[in-house]
């Protein structure tokens, strides 16, 4: 019973995490890299709480986050798809309708901001130190979405909710394909060189 209660408390804390701010320089635009599937390490600051883990985007509305820190959330995974949220921890899981999640929940705001901006032909915002800041507003509050020179997600902030999410080691399906192709080419080159050496 204690295990179920601890799981429910950890999952509820993860689901209810709420959503901090960025300013820019001149107005600019760049290619949109938000529409691709990706996985990324994420560090999260919500007020005085620090958390971390891995975020994955599989497509529009289909996301996943697994926490690795703090210890109270480590191992908790939230999966978002088809209007539902599945929370799992050490073999235990439960599902709730997405509509039952608080409007300020950080993942719902992140998903909505990224998925909405992913439909644009190109991203427009304020240029600052090589990053493009895109401002917007959701039911959960105002946000600033920052992308790098390739239009790939860098940070997500909600000032009123004291939230900042920083994405690092981000890998898109496109990048993974390039890496696989490069590795295959290197293996082929090494094999060809070895064959020539034997001959």
CATH superfamily placement of domain 2-173:
Lipoprotein localisation LolA/LolB/LppX (2.50.20.10)
Domain ranges across the chain: 2-173
Report the pLDDT value the prediction gives residue 98, as an integer from 0 to 100.
Answer: 87
pTM over 0.85: no
Report the pLDDT value the prediction gives residue 104, as an integer from 0 to 100.
Answer: 78
Tokens, residue 46:
């919500």
Regions of the chain where pLDDT drops below 50: 1-2, 4-25, 175-181, 185, 192, 195-197
What is d(CA 119, CA 123) in angstroms, rounded to the nearest whole number? 10
Report the pLDDT value the prediction gives residue 103, as an integer from 0 to 100.
Answer: 73
Report the pLDDT value the prediction gives residue 190, as an integer from 0 to 100.
Answer: 55
Which helix (H) or strand (E) is 125 found in, with range? strand 122-128
Report the pLDDT value the prediction gives residue 173, as an integer from 0 to 100.
Answer: 75
Sequence-ordered list of residues with C-beta below 8 angstroms from that of 168, at least 6 positions apart, any chain: 40, 41, 42, 43
> Are 104 and 141 contacting, i.e. CB atoms less than 8 angstroms apart?
yes
What is d(CA 126, CA 31) in angstroms, rounded to the nearest whole number? 14
Report the pLDDT value the prediction gives residue 182, as an integer from 0 to 100.
Answer: 53
């Amino acid at each position: 019973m204690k295990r179920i209660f601890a799981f429910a408390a950890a999952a509820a804390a993860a689901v209810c995490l709420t959503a901090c701010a960025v300013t820019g320089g001149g107005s600019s635009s760049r290619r949109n890299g938000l529409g691709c599937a990706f996985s990324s390490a994420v560090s999260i600051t919500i007020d005085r709480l620090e958390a971390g883990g891995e975020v994955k985007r599989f497509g529009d509305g289909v996301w996943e986050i697994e926490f690795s820190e703090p210890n109270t959330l480590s191992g908790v995974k939230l999966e978002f798809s088809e209007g539902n949220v599945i929370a799992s921890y050490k073999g235990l899981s439960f599902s709730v309708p997405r509509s039952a999640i608080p409007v300020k929940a950080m993942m719902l705001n992140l998903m909505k901001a990224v998925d909405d901006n992913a439909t644009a032909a190109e991203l427009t915002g304020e240029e600052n130190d090589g990053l493009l800041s895109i401002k917007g507003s959701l039911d959960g509050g105002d946000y600033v979405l920052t992308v790098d020179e390739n239009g790939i997600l860098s940070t997500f902030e909600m000032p009123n909710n004291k939230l900042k999410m920083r994405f690092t080691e981000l890998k898109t399906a496109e990048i993974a394909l390039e890496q696989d192709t490069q590795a295959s080419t290197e293996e082929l080159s090494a094999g060809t060189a070895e064959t020539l050496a034997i001959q």
